[in-house]
Structures are given as C-alpha cells and as structure tokens.
Amino acid sequence: MLILCYWFFLNFNLYFFLNVSFIQGRLPLDYTTSCPSSLCHVTHAWLSPKYKAWGSLLGLQLAERDIIVACIDYRNFPQGTISDMVNDVSQGIDYICNNIIEYGGDPNKIYLMGQSAGAHVSSCALVQQAIKESRGDSISWSVSQIKAYFGLSGGYNLPNLVDHFHNRGLYRSIFLSIMEGEKLLEQFSPEVIVQDPSSDKAVSLLPHIVLFHGTTDSSIPSDERFAFLLRMMLISCQLTEHKMPCLVAVNESVVI
C-alpha cells in the first residue's frame, strides 16, 4: 500500500494523504463504482505551529482505510489574526471542493472536520460561507458541497472563554489581539451568530453537524449550548431530523 503526501504553498499549507493503490488507474473517476470519501481536516492552534504531526497521524490512519485526507494549515498569530485564519481555511476548503476529483476523491463525499482551535476556525468559515450564500453573494464554494461537519473539542462562544483562557495562561491581552479586539469576539463566535434572527436562512443551509467534546476537557470546557441552539434553529426552520446537530460527550477514558 503506497501513501503519498502532496504539499501546496498558497496563502496556506495543504497536504494530502491518499491510498494510491486504491485509486490507481481510476482517474478520471467512474462514479458508477465506489469512490473514496474525503475528509478535510483543519489543524489545531491559534498560536503554536508545532502540531502538523497530529494531522499526519490522522491522515496516514484514514488513508489506509481508503479515505483521502486533506489537512489545511493556516497562519498562526502573530503572522495572522483570526480573520486571516478563517480566510485561509475557507480558501483551503475552496481548493478541496473544486479539485478533489483530481486526487481520486468524490466531490459528493466531502466531510469537514476541525479540532480545538481548528474547530473554532473551521466552524467560523462554514457559518460565514452560509451567510454569504443566504445573501446571494458571489461564492467559489458552497456549504452544500460539505456532506457533514465534525467539530472536536471546539470553542464556539469566545466571550465565554476569555477568562478561562486567561486563567490557563493565554492572557487576555494576547487572546484579544488574536481575535482582533473585544468588539469582534461575537463576530467570530458561531454560537452567538446562529442566535441572530437574520441568520435563520444561513443556519438552514448548514450541513449535518456532529460535535465531539471530552467531558473533562480542561483546555476548552465542554458546552452543549451550540448544539442545542442549532437544533432549536433547525426545528424552527422545519427541517428534517436527519440534519439535526448533536453533541457527543466523550468520557476521558475513551480514546478517539
């Protein structure tokens, strides 16, 4: 089994893991046969760049199971602030949605996943894209191209996390610099955004959402409110049950 890693250097780093033996001789794809799913994984951290091995381990494991994994890196602070990070991730998703077929992937089987800070940044990118679509803005990728979103140990309400991070050593002044000031905390808080009545149409466009969070996570505390609010919004939109988001609370003894 041969697994290759492709690097692209645009405004972001993007690396792929795929099982070449599975897709060899299958390009261009014949969709009458089984085609591999693709996982778009947004890497972890607002600050530290020392996390690429995590994406590599995930990519290698899933590639052995015939899943193409594309890991999106983004600028960290101080090279970039939150709007740069969200933009970088959105560009990465755009590239994957429009080019995954070149790597043997099925454009109808694209899943998006983010971990920790990556869950925050990727959920911001997803919600912002839905808002653009709901307004009829010109877009280069659509949330409808994402089959499902998986958020792992993410923080979705920044105003509620400022004091928690400060007490853990990510001091208020640094955190607010990353998030471009206190006034923009709510703008980059998906949990807050979905409560705005003007976001109703955007929420209805979101893909199926599954949130995972450890019950004893001390980095970012587990919070069910984002999943609950999304469920209430979708019920108000009279959408079907299969699209309902949920929170999977993971006990610390469970290894994901």
Catalytic residue numbers read 116, 217
**Other C-beta atoms within 10 Å of 144: how many?**
12
Element (H, E) at 86: helix 82-99
**What 8-state DSSP symbol labels residue 136?**
T
194 contacts 230 by C-beta, under 8 angstroms: yes
Contacting residues for 154 by C-beta, under 8 A, at least 6 apart: 114, 115, 116, 117, 118, 119, 120, 123, 211, 213, 220
Token pair 């808080």: residue: 189
